[in-house]
Amino acid sequence: MDRASRFSYQCMACGRCCRDKVITLSPYDVIRIAETAGVAPAAAIARYTIRRGSILSFAESGDCAALEGARCTVHRGRPLACRLYPLGLDRGPGGAENFRRLEPAPGSLGVYGESGSVQDFLDGQKVNEYLAANARYRPLVLLMRARIETLVDFETIEPREFWRRATREALAESNFDPNPLIDALFDPELLGCLRGTAAATLDAHLHALERRILAEDDADVIAAAAVMLAVSLGYSPGEVIGSR
């Protein structure tokens, strides 16, 4: 499906879609969650996420960490994936969009239809703000790749194994090595970037991350962070990072 495809959805606020999911978060998602919850990003990461801020946390009961009954406590700052539901967004080569209709959550009371378009739905969910923010983070992946090329001699180090290690490290949910660059990706306060609005924090965060990447001289740290950022923005490691 593209933005012109016929699609509509009426949410009935049953809360069924807020259970037993894997929701990947971008750095901007964390900024918005923290702002809405009225807490520092570090507190939002601890309360609402796993894998160093990159995945939304769900309780053993299956409920999202932000769910109270059928109510989302951070609804105003809910993540992109939650805004898109019940659409999924796949990224093709060069960032091409492919929307797909997801299967309804078990017991969902939501109503699907074709009374509008995908674009109408995206507008209603204020998705474009999030897509635009993610697009601004994407060049940092390429900057990290370029920085790695200055630090690693791929004539003596096998590139596929280098990136396999980076992917394993980035996506590990436990027993991972400390990575200050990943920490800085999801907690803008570590770089002194908190501002009065999410938009201002985003601007400061992007500039500070660029400087931090250029100052980092550990290629393994940069590579794991590059994979983590790529995945958090909806790209596969193979498409954005893993091929030379």
The domain ranges of the chain are 6-128, 137-240
pLDDT value, residue 4: 96
pLDDT value, residue 173: 87
pLDDT value, residue 122: 96
pLDDT value, residue 240: 64
| DSSP label of 64 | B
Q: What is the mean pLDDT of each run of 10 residues along the chain (244 residues)?
A: 95 91 96 97 96 94 93 96 94 82 90 94 95 96 95 94 94 92 98 96 98 98 96 83 54
Which stretch of DSSP H or E encloses residue 89? Answer: strand 87-91
Instruction: Evaluate whether 19 touches 64 at the Cβ level (below 8 Å).
Output: yes
Three-state SS at 154: coil
In 10 A of CB 59, how many CB atoms?
Answer: 10
pLDDT value, residue 230: 94
Cα separation, 179 vs 106, in Å, equals 38
